[in-house]
Chains A and B, each alone.
Chain A
Amino acid sequence: MKKIYSVLVENRSGVLSKVSGLFARRCFNIDSLVVGETFDPEVSNMTIVSSGDERTLEQIEKQLNKKLDVIKVKTFHEEQAVSRELMLIKVKYNKSNRKDIMEICEICKAQIVDMSKNHMMIQICDTPDKIKVFRSAISGISVVEVARTGTLALPKCNDLEN
């Protein structure tokens, strides 16, 4: 089972290491982890995706809450959230596959954000599933470099009351 943890933490040095260390020490999985500052510069938001059985997922929440640098933990399942991931991917192209690449980009709503004579950089921002689809769609093309953010998520607006 997968669960998403949206964790507000004190924006101090060492906090990321404390939180990731907690996962390592207690043998919790980290499928992905994204950290960024919130509008309040003293507070950061961590979005952590983890998987495990129900007891483990509950323990993760409790152990996170126990950390003295953690302000608030919100948990939700994938279907209760809007999740996005950003991927930058640099590929090699030639005359014969240029059109194909552009077509795939159009279908997958990816953008070509940089280009040279032989290389182009594509940006895709979508759900983790769609990114998977895009990756397999371009599997025939030679990929030079990839950078991904990991999953960012917020609970859906209509779930706010819960």
Chain B
Amino acid sequence: MIGADAIVKALSEEHVKYVFGYPGVAICPFYNSILNSDVETVLVRTEQNAAHAASGYARVSCEVGVCAVTSGPGATNLITGIATAFADSIPLVCITGQVNSSLLGSDVFQEADITGAVESFVKYSYLVKNVNDIPRIMKEAFYIANTGRKGPVLVDVPIDIQNAEIKKYKYPEEVSMRTYKPTFVGNFAQIKKVIKALEKAKRPVVCAGGGVILANAQDNLIKFCESKNIPVVSTMMGISAVPTSHPLYFGMVGNNGKPYANRAMNESDLLIMVGARVADRAVNQPDLITENKVMVHIDVDPAEIGKNCGPTIPIVGDASNIFEQINNQEFECDTKEWVKQLNSYKETMAKKRTPNPEFTDPEFFIKTLSSKLKSDSVYVADVGQNQIWSCAYCDVKKGGRFLTSGGMGTMGYSIPAAMGAKLASPKKQVVAVCGDGSFQMSMMELATINEVKAGVKIIVLKNNYLGMVREYQHFTYNDNYSVVSLNDYPNLEKLSKAYDLNYIKVSNNGDVEAAIKDMLSNDKTYIVEVLIDPMDIVKG
């Protein structure tokens, strides 16, 4: 058995079903070994999308996403995808080929110091120098990626190590690392403090971040909120922690969120921040949110607590466990008036758009689309105006998922991530909603989607602009548009033909219902071109 066989065997031990990647000489031993296993491979059309596809797969399957690429440019192309996963704490194991270990450091063909380059975007990285370390390293890589605060782990394997004979292959049953012991259970004394604060609070609110979903804490959170009648808001990554139409859910916070969600957070006297970084887009002035209120910060990563704002009661641990611990305690909360007040805010502060009737209104389209989707479907939003509209108008039902690149804001995320999501759960409906800018950043994956027969519904909100930047230039530079016009290409109808995909055009609101019905009538891949007003704005 050689090193490459050992890596593949480790993937089988970890029950990996798919490896997303792109071969090159330096990773060829691995791609040769994988032919003798049950692990399926997906050839993406550029390496960045291997990481995005693995990310979509990981988020829907709740397992580790795996990608494997070659050395040098293969590895460096992967970096944006790794950084995207890191920013959203998505568990990935990224395997990169590397030049012969005796040539390391001599700048030979396709050599890149990838472990050095990704240092600030990975949870951990390995450069394998001894073939006998492979079983331990692979075991650790999967464990590190999928425990504590999840994230990407990179394993860089020189080609001679992949080809070297391994003395004895034994996959470790357990990981023992003296430097890594994540906290799972919340400190009981801190939980008691939270309960005392809850009993005193008149206006409590939970702000749910992506950590709630990563910890699979949705049910425990909902149980907590329903039993104590406590309202919830969410960050962008926290969308789908609670169904959108839940009577206690008051929308997304932040610059691009609902005004009543921000008001709920500001006026609360007890804010329970859970699995959220308190970053600038969600909380404009983190220092201020702790004023005049008790703030509880629950996070599995101790370094997040106190990073952007100082909490009154910090709790380190797994969000699901902590809500279970809280739910096991007996206490009462009186929040009737507060919830009533928030509902009146919701009614009076909702934004009203004035859509241009000549085009399709994105609000109408997204609301109609999400209402027709099955409750357990996966909605993948890209980055740009389309993302903000998706966050604002997508109705995520119970069991539904909403994926987007929240922390990094990486354009082109939706198509490969949707492909990964569809492979993770082929029976679910998966839609990718992007703009014409983000679509073109990953449209090469149409070939991959076709090849793996992933029936993804790709919605392109087309306005011939990089809309989000255009809107920024509209407000900040008095309509001095600089490098934001996309002209009319590509012709999506012809492009769909070129890839043998189905195509529907939606010119205005009148076309919406029929197009969605048509698209959802089967499990084939569709490109739906939705013409929207180029001058439309998300802030209104």
Give Cα distance in the complex from A59 to B308, angstroms.
Answer: 10
Contact, CB under 8 Å: A66 / B120: no
User: Which chain B residue lies CB-closest to A9?
Assistant: B179
Binds B, one of A14-22, A123-131, A132-140, A145-153: A14-22
Contact, CB under 8 Å: A65 / B303: yes
User: Which residues of A from 58 to 109 have beta carbons under 8 Å from B?
Assistant: 58-59, 62-63, 65-71
Given A21-B120, A25-B120, A68-B144, the answer on whether A59 and B306 have CB atoms closer than 8 Å is yes
Would you give the shortest CB distance from A64 to chain B, in whole angstroms? 9
Contact, CB under 8 Å: A65 / B302: yes
Contact, CB under 8 Å: B302 / A69: no
Chain A residues touching B, majority SS: helix
Contact, CB under 8 Å: A68 / B178: no
Q: Which of B120, B124, B307 contacts A59 (CB 8 A)?
A: B307
Tell me, yes or no, whether B119 is within 8 Å of chain A by CB.
Answer: yes
B116 contacts across to A, CB distance below 8 A: 14, 17
Would you give the shortest CB distance from A62 to chain B, in whole angstroms? 4
Would you give the shortest CB distance from A15 to chain B, in whole angstroms? 10
A66 contacts across to B, CB distance below 8 A: 301-303
Binary contact track B170-191/A, C-beta < 8 Å → 1, others 0: 0000000111100000000000
Tell me, yes or no, whether A55 is within 8 Å of chain B by CB.
Answer: yes
Which of B119, B144, B179, B307 has the most A CB atoms < 10 Å from its CB?
Answer: B179
Give Cα distance in the complex from A69 to B179, angstroms.
Answer: 6
User: Which chain B residue lies CB-closest to A25?
Assistant: B120
A21 contacts across to B, CB distance below 8 A: 119-120
Tell me, yes or no, whether B310 is within 8 Å of chain A by CB.
Answer: yes
Contact, CB under 8 Å: B302 / A62: yes
Contact, CB under 8 Å: B120 / A71: no
Would you give the shortest CB distance from B112 to chain A, in whole angstroms? 15
Contact, CB under 8 Å: B180 / A68: yes
Would you give the shortest CB distance from B271 to chain A, in whole angstroms? 19
User: Which chain A residue lies CB-closest to B309?
Assistant: A55
Tell me, yes or no, whether B115 is within 8 Å of chain A by CB.
Answer: yes
Q: Which of A25, A59, A68 contacts B123 (CB 8 A)?
A: A68
B180 contacts across to A, CB distance below 8 A: 68
Contact, CB under 8 Å: A14 / B307: no
A14 contacts across to B, CB distance below 8 A: 115-116, 127
Would you give the shortest CB distance from B138 to chain A, in whole angstroms? 15
Contact, CB under 8 Å: B179 / A71: yes
A59 contacts across to B, CB distance below 8 A: 303, 306-307
Contact, CB under 8 Å: A58 / B306: yes
User: Which residues of B from 112 to 148 have beta carbons under 8 Å from A?
Assistant: 115-116, 119-120, 123-124, 127, 144
Q: Which of B115, B178, B303 contacts A62 (CB 8 A)?
A: B303
Give Cα distance in the complex from A10 to B306, angstroms.
Answer: 27
Contact, CB under 8 Å: A10 / B179: yes
Interface range, A side: 10 to 19
A25 contacts across to B, CB distance below 8 A: 120
Given A58-B306, A59-B303, A63-B303, the answer on whether A68 and B179 have CB atoms closer than 8 Å is yes
Would you give the shortest CB distance from B303 to chain A, in whole angstroms? 4
A10 contacts across to B, CB distance below 8 A: 179
Give Cα distance in the complex from A10 to B126, angstroms.
Answer: 14
A68 contacts across to B, CB distance below 8 A: 123-124, 144, 177, 179-180
Would you give the shortest CB distance from B245 to chain A, in whole angstroms? 38
A17 contacts across to B, CB distance below 8 A: 116, 119
Give Cα distance in the complex from A21 to B121, angstroms.
Answer: 12
A62 contacts across to B, CB distance below 8 A: 302-303, 306-307
Contact, CB under 8 Å: B119 / A71: no
User: Which residues of B from 283 to 315 have beta carbons under 8 Å from A?
Assistant: 301-303, 306-307, 310
B119 contacts across to A, CB distance below 8 A: 17-18, 21
User: Which chain B residue lies CB-closest to A71?
Assistant: B179
Give Cα distance in the complex from A61 to B303, angstroms.
Answer: 9
Q: Which of B115, B124, B178 contacts A71 (CB 8 A)?
A: B178
A65 contacts across to B, CB distance below 8 A: 302-303
User: Which chain A residue lies CB-closest to B310?
Assistant: A55
Binary contact track A21-45/B, C-beta < 8 Å → 1, others 0: 1000100000000000000000000
B115 contacts across to A, CB distance below 8 A: 14
A18 contacts across to B, CB distance below 8 A: 119
Would you give the shortest CB distance from A27 to chain B, in whole angstroms? 12
User: Which chain B residue lies CB-closest to A24?
Assistant: B120
Give Cα distance in the complex from A103 to B180, angstroms.
Answer: 53
User: Which chain A residue lies CB-closest to B308?
Assistant: A55
Give Cα distance in the complex from A62 to B301, angstroms.
Answer: 9
B301 contacts across to A, CB distance below 8 A: 66
Contact, CB under 8 Å: B179 / A70: yes
Which of B123, B127, B303, B306 has the most A CB atoms < 10 Å from its CB?
Answer: B303
User: Which chain A residue lies CB-closest to B115?
Assistant: A14
Binary contact track B325-364/A, C-beta < 8 Å → 1, others 0: 0000000000000000000000000000000000000000
Which of A14, A18, A67, A68 has the most B CB atoms < 10 Å from its CB?
Answer: A68
User: Which chain A residue lies CB-closest to B123?
Assistant: A68
Binary contact track B79-123/A, C-beta < 8 Å → 1, others 0: 000000000000000000000000000000000000110011001
User: Which chain A residue lies CB-closest to B305?
Assistant: A62
Give Cα distance in the complex from A69 to B177, angstroms.
Answer: 10
Would you give the shortest CB distance from A73 to chain B, in whole angstroms? 11
User: Can you list 14 residue pairs at the A/B interface with Cβ under 8 Å?
Assistant: A10-B179, A14-B127, A18-B119, A58-B306, A62-B306, A62-B307, A63-B303, A65-B302, A66-B302, A67-B179, A68-B144, A68-B180, A69-B179, A70-B179
Which 8 pairs of residues, A with B, have the shortest CB-CB distance?
A62-B303, A68-B124, A66-B303, A25-B120, A68-B180, A68-B179, A71-B179, A63-B303
Apart from the given pairs A21-B120, A62-B303, A66-B301, 10 other A-B contacts in the complex at a CB distance below 8 Å: A10-B179, A14-B115, A58-B306, A62-B302, A63-B303, A67-B179, A68-B123, A68-B124, A68-B177, A69-B179
